[in-house]
Amino acid sequence: MTAATPIIQPGQIEPPAGAIPYIYITPRDNVFRDRAARLRQLATGHVMQDFLLFMAELTDAQHAALATFPKVPLPTEAELSLCREHGMPPLSVQSWPRNPVWQETLKQIIAHVMPAATPAAGKILMRLQKMDSAALEAFATDILAGQFDDMDLGVAPFIAAALQVYWTHMATTLGAHAFGANDISNLCPVCASPPVSSIVRIGGAENALRYLACSVCNSQWHMVRVKCSNCESTKGISYFMIEGTSGAVKAESCEECGTYLKIMYMDKDPQVDPIADDLATLALDLMLDESGKLRSGPNLLLISTSAIAA
């Protein structure tokens, strides 16, 4: 490839690190709207149709909540600059003083999805409505810390959905330029959460580059391909897909640390979504689970305690 070639082809050497947009943040108006549309598309004829359609309702609720999200305190430019300098995520889910306004978002979400809830889901929502503010904060802390043991897994997706809206609001308000690289490359440089999956993007400066997709704030950050997103090994990486599919979603598994994470390819399907396509390919999780591999990052809309690496 000569310097005059403007486009990097898949499989060819990637541009030098300085030329790569390190963080990609999906436009605020698109993130949940596109995901809801994708969930509806994937639901058609799917064995988990009802579940995916309900997840689409939940994602609609997130979209509506994000559109009307109130002004909240954000890190100052001085704090952001210090974080960029030291490779620290400024909105770390562990240390950022969480604004209780996310509980209002949760109420909005509950009201939005209630009419679409099955009797079983309705019971879960009623259980959620009975939780007081302190219990909700404690629950949020456990979700964000990845402490899923003994968790009420029924109510968890709704609490996670509200937290995703709050963190997505902050990330999209500040914009990609506010954030630098994280010293810990397998955690989100915005909020320090693990990725839900990774995505090989098409178009623009991100073309053919692989990004890890945050499980909380919806930011995406660059990581070279054919490298374990958990332990960064480049040896013993293999790919699995469900037979008869387009291969737009695969599981990238690592022999070194015994984990896997799904990887999605926009060149095979430009509409792939890190969360929606993950939910629609549980068969792939079952396949990897049977081979003894553990997932290295959670999908907070469907937490499964058994299959997540500690």
For Zn ion, the binding residues (CB under 5 A) are 188, 190-191, 193, 214, 216-217, 219, 228, 230-231, 233, 254, 256-257
Supply the minimum distance, in Å, between the C-beta of residue 253 and Zn ion: 8
- 165 vs 188, beta carbon nearer Zn ion: 188
d(CA 57, CA 37): 10
Tell me the three state secondary structure of residue 161: helix
Supply the minimum distance, in Å, between the C-beta of residue 171 and Zn ion: 7
Residues 6+ apart with CB under 8 A from 185: 221, 223, 232
Give DSSP secondary structure letters for 199-262: EE--SGGGTT-EEEEESSS-EEEE--SSS-TTT---SSEEEE--TTS-SSEEEEEETTT-EEEE
Supply the minimum distance, in Å, between the C-beta of residue 304 and Zn ion: 20
Supply the minimum distance, in Å, between the C-beta of residue 187 and Zn ion: 8
d(CA 222, CA 238): 20
Q: What does the DSSP 8-state code read for residue 196?
A: E
> Angle 308-135-70 (CA atoms, 0-180°, nearest 5)?
90
- 55 vs 188, beta carbon nearer Zn ion: 188
Closest CA to 137 of 169, 98, 164: 98
Residues 6+ apart with CB under 8 A from 253: 237, 238, 239, 240, 259, 260, 288, 291, 293
Supply the minimum distance, in Å, between the C-beta of residue 174 and Zn ion: 12
Supply the minimum distance, in Å, between the C-beta of residue 9 and Zn ion: 27
Supply the minimum distance, in Å, between the C-beta of residue 256 and Zn ion: 4
Supply the minimum distance, in Å, between the C-beta of residue 195 and Zn ion: 9
End-to-end CA distance of the chain: 42
Q: What does the DSSP 8-state code read for residue 73?
A: -
Closest CA to 210 of 252, 164, 258, 253: 252
d(CA 57, CA 242): 27
- 34 vs 269, beta carbon nearer Zn ion: 34
- 17 vs 231, beta carbon nearer Zn ion: 231
Q: What does the DSSP 8-state code read for residue 308?
A: B
